[in-house]
Amino acid sequence: AQKITQTQPGMFVQEKEAVTLDCTYDTSDQSYGLFWYKQPSSGEMIFLIYQGSYDEQNATEGRYSLNFQKARKSANLVISASQLGDSAMYFCAIRSPDGNEKLTFGTGTRLTIIP
Amino acid sequence: DVKVTQSSRYLVKRTGEKVFLECVQDMDHENMFWYRQDPGLGLRLIYFSYDVKMKEKGDIPEGYSVSREKKERFSLILESASTNQTSMYLCASSQIYWDRTNQPQHFGDGTRLSIL
């Protein structure tokens, strides 16, 4: 069974600062994918970034980057120059390798950006 | 852009009622999923389907059933609603990519269901 652990239930960060959201995972599979989603208060889940287990470089998408440390089973999301619109719930997820594309989610981190 | 549409944003039902939550996607995706989201528990998979008329149980299928008669539509059914099924329900869809590329699941806006 796969598992995602997000140990930060909530975080408060000053606007324009960088923020790191922690994610550790547990899997016995060699091939897997890691995803980060953002959920604003309106409820929709927005895909942010993906990291494959065989990707040699850390994924980046605009202000989002993923600090992938495979040996430590860690996939932290880094948001640079935070903005008020970054206030939301953030979920880390791992994809099952069995071809059915199932995701296992963590419990999430509520990020609040302070002006 | 992929569009996943859930029939209701908010729904209030009574215990014992049969409840239908509908989800439609417009990108011809093979896979469709139903999750429920509760504070402190994240998203938990109820059921998923990888083809028409095919379904598989997720982590918490008890009290739920699903129907997929057409590729674009995936329905979640609460056979006899109970108060512990009050929750946020999220539908998602994805393409099958056998080469393991970075295709995410695309989510609808969610349905906040209250069972009184």
Q: Looking at CA atoms only, how far is residue A51 from chain B in angstroms?
A: 8
Question: Residue B79: its pLDDT value, please?
Answer: 94
B47 - beta bridge partners?
A: B34, B57
CB contact under 8 A, A100 and B48: yes
Residue B13 touches chain A, beta carbons under 8 Å: no
Q: What is the mean pLDDT of residues B71-80?
A: 96
List the 42-61 stretch of B: residues with Cβ below 8 A of A. Answer: 42-45, 48, 50, 56, 58
Contact B57, B45 (CB under 8 A): no
CB contact under 8 A, A50 and B104: yes
CB contact under 8 A, B107 and A42: no
CB contact under 8 A, B42 and A106: yes
> Which of A9, A33, A91 has the CB atom closest to B43's CB atom?
A91
| A26-81 confidence digits (pLDDT tens) | 998 888 899 999 999 999 999 999 999 988 899 999 999 999 999 999 999 999 99
Q: Compare A96 and A84 and report the one with higher pLDDT.
A: A84
| A23-34 confidence digits (pLDDT tens) | 999 998 888 899
Q: CA torsion angle for A95, B7, B40, B15 (degrees, to 10)?
A: -130
Question: Residue A104, CB half-sphere, CA atoms under 13 Å: how many?
Answer: 19
Chain B hits for A105, CB-CB cut-off 8 Å, are: 35, 42-44
A and B: number of Cβ contacts within 8 A = 64
Share the mean pLDDT of chain B.
92
- Residues sharing a CB contact under 8 Å with residue B54, sequence separation 6 or more, in sequence order: B68
- Residues sharing a CB contact under 8 Å with residue A37, sequence separation 6 or more, in sequence order: A45, A46, A47, A48, A90, A91, A93, B104, B107
Residue B1 touches chain A, beta carbons under 8 Å: no
